[in-house]
Amino acid sequence: MTVNADTNVTIAAIILAAIFAICGTTAITVAIFNSDWFFKSPNAGIFTFGLPRLWQRLIYGVAGMLMLISAFYILTYGH
């Protein structure tokens, strides 16, 4: 079985788009449902340290939307 360069790019684009889609969906879900387990974790405070919860939710909601848009762009034009 031979694999050409186009197949590798397509598989890589699908994997990258899937990662972006999963991360974006998680960020939007957490922002909508105001999940304490996420916003109280030390890693979530890296981007939103010291901001009120509403601003944290807005930032992660916008970041999630940008990730979903990026996933769609990769799937549409990434081949």
* pLDDT tens, residue by residue, 69-78: 999 999 888 7
pTM greater than the 0.85 cutoff: no
Using N-to-C axis directions, what is the helix angle for 5-33 and 53-77, rounded to 10°?
160
In this model, does residue 2 exceed pLDDT 60?
A: no
Residue 54 structural domain? 5-77
Residue 34 token pair: 């105001």
Q: Which ranges in 1-79 belong to alpha helices (H)? A: 5-33, 36-39, 45-48, 53-77
- Domains in the chain, number: 1
Return d(Cα 39, Cα 3) in angstroms, integer.
44
